Chains A and B, each alone.
Chain A
Amino acid sequence: MYAQMVKTGVDHIQSKEEMSPEERAFQDRVDQNIKIEPKEWMPEAYRKTLIRQISQHAHSEIIGMQPEGNWITRAPTLERKAILLAKVQDEAGHGLYLYCAAETLGVSRDELMEQLNSGKAKYSSIFNYPTLTWADIGAIGWLVDGAAIMNQVPLQRCSYGPYSRAMVRICKEESFHQRQGYDIMTKLARGTPEQKAMAQDALNRWWWPSLMMFGPSDAESVHSAQSMRWKIKINSNDELRQKFVDQTVPQAEYLGLTVPDPDLKWNAESEHYDFGEVDWNEFYQVVAGNGPCNRQRLRTRVKAYEEGQWVREAADAYAAKKAARAKAKAA
């Protein structure tokens, strides 16, 4: 899940009686699963929440290019290098679709970039962890993309048309990403003892941060309830986390790797895995800017943006000159 703890600006869920006629008509459309399109009327809080959610997702894609990009030049074979480069490239593409989807809500990409660069906008906590070995590239594909898919597959059905369509495209690529991650892990787990140790170490380090991606329990959250009412959030954080654990533990077993949770066990009654408590203190620290790589990630992004400024200006200046020449020629 690339958007965590998105606020809606509401303090309670309105009953239909409290709604204005416009709001009621809007909610009826949502209830009937009719997609909301950019030009239609929508409550201001819906629009703002969507901007927050979509841009947080977009920023996560962009910042997420860094931990994986860290291994592009060191990928171990030409094929792995091409696959990783294509994957990170896909993330740039996802960022682009999502910024475009956000733009339909009346905010520009430049404004959103500015929010990211200034540190005001959030992105997923997971990308503030470092990629220390090649196995981390496998673990990210398997676990991080796996967790993202859990959330994004249902969002293909979300109420906002452009977001839902962006999700359809993104999900197709994410499932390829997850498979390549698992494939890297498989190779390592069946490789030399050093490779297997590398894989286990990566699982140890990425397991808990992956569970944190779903965000803290939101059973009591008015924001989550509102987002679900608007159908821009489909499942609760705990539901998705449980689903992720249930799916991932057998995959780890198949690889012969151990999930680093002493409390993990199959519960025959509930037919789900029971698992230990996430260290939410760590999560809040990372979200507050104190993760291992927060500063580094932001600095790198700002540097790329600032160093690209003269290039973007030149491209604009050239386009303007070209247009002026074409106009002069036509006159």
Chain B
Amino acid sequence: MSGQEVLFEYLLRLGDNALILGHRLSEWCGHSPALEEDLALSNVALDLIGQTQLWLNLAGEIEGKGRDADKLAYLRDARDFRNLLLVEQPNGNFAATMARQFHFDAWHYLLLRELTGSKDARIAEIAAKGLKEVTYHLERSRDWILRLGDGTEESHRRMQAAIDDLWMYTGEMFESDEVDQAMMREGIGPDLASLHEPWLGLMRSTAEEATLTLPQPGWAQRGGKRGMHSEHLGYILADLQFLQRAYPNATW
């Protein structure tokens, strides 16, 4: 891969995470446990959709084939998506959504914080904007881990089950492949492995306060970053891309 191709791949990963998680959160609108949560979940989804536009537009620019964020979001098939497996997992119950969110937010926060120092000024700029939003996302999802973990017996049981279920999708966030390594060498992106300890620290302190138990380290599901997804992604795309696929070349 040329330098530009690697950078394109890297930006797709950033953009696709935001796109798919934003999509998942938008599924909650009108169905959440309280009106306040309809508002809050939509806010987070809106932030992520905004970040998607920034990352994918930049990706399209780097690629130089005339694709913008919409073309990239709406006209690629599942094998070309580069998001983590974690973010495409179904919403499940509210505990599952919040556990997914907290695992991702903590990593996203650490990643964007590093990216604000990227040698690529465009990336640093988007990261700085995103970091402000994600700082708030993390505060909010952490708060829900505490409330549900240390709420009632039922909420504790559900939150523990959610964390146990999702844990195997978190390992992928810290594994570097040749794309991550190339970005690291050029001072564009951080060493993903270096995010693991601070991430675990936050997981541990939060779990302790929430009276939850973190699962033992185990086998990590991986593949999202390279286009090997779960069955869920296809259905997300079937919804997301329906109009663009059914009416090719129409503008909306």
Residues of chain A having any CB pair with chain B under 8 Å:
62, 65-66, 69, 72-82, 85-86, 88-89, 92-93, 95-96, 99, 134, 184, 187-188, 191-192, 194-195, 300, 303-304, 307-315, 317-318, 321
Closest to A321 in B: B150
Residue in B closest to A61 when the chains form the complex, CB atoms: B35
* CB pair A311 B148 closer than 8 Å: yes
User: Measured between alpha carbons, how far is A194 from B252 in the docked complex, in Å?
Assistant: 12
Closest residue of B by beta carbon distance from A319: B147
Residues of A within 8 A of B52 (CB): 78
**A188's closest neighbor in chain B, by CB?**
B252
A66 and B30 form a contact (CB under 8 A): yes
Shortest CB-to-CB span from A131 to chain B, Å, is: 13
Contacts of B247 in A (CB 8 A): 192, 194-195
B220 within 8 A of A: no
Closest 6 CB pairs of A and B: A308-B33, A314-B151, A314-B155, A311-B33, A89-B42, A76-B252
* Choice from B43, B70, B150 contacting A78 with Cβ under 8 Å: B70
Which residues of B pack against A, CB within 8 Å?
19, 23, 26-27, 29-39, 42-43, 45-46, 49-50, 52-53, 69-70, 73-74, 93-95, 146-148, 150-152, 154-155, 158, 239-240, 242-244, 247, 249-252
A312-B33 contact given A85-B49, A321-B150, CB 8 Å threshold: yes
Contact yes or no, A304 B35, CB < 8 A: no
- Of B38, B152, B249, B251, which is within 8 A of A65 by CB? B38
> Considering the chains assembled together, what is the distance between the CA atoms of A261 and B242 in angstroms?
32
Residue numbers in B under 8 Å from A72 (CB-CB): 26-27, 29
Set of chain B residues within 8 Å of A75, measured between Cβ atoms: 243
A69-B30, A314-B154 given; A85·B35 CB < 8 A: no
Cβ-defined contact, A73 with B23, below 8 A:
yes
Chain A CB count within 10 A is highest, among B23, B34, B37, B240, for: B34
> Can you list 23 A-B pairs, Cβ within 8 angstroms, ordered by A?
A73-B23, A73-B240, A74-B243, A77-B70, A78-B19, A78-B49, A78-B53, A78-B70, A85-B42, A85-B49, A89-B38, A92-B29, A92-B30, A92-B38, A93-B39, A192-B249, A304-B30, A310-B152, A313-B155, A314-B148, A317-B152, A318-B146, A318-B147
Residues on A with beta carbons closer than 8 Å to the beta carbon of B154: 310, 313-314
Q: How far is the CB of B95 from chain A (nearest CB, A)?
A: 8
B95 proximity list for chain A (CB < 8 A): 311
Residues of A within 8 A of B146 (CB): 318
Contact across chains for B147 and A81 when beta carbons are under 8 A apart? no
A195 touches B250 (CB 8 A): yes
In the bound complex, how far is the Cα of B93 from the Cα of A75, in angstroms? 24
New A-B contacts (19) at CB < 8 Å, excluding given A93-B39, A95-B35, A308-B37: A69-B30, A73-B27, A73-B240, A74-B239, A74-B240, A74-B242, A77-B74, A78-B70, A80-B252, A86-B42, A92-B29, A92-B30, A92-B39, A92-B42, A303-B31, A308-B34, A309-B33, A310-B152, A314-B147
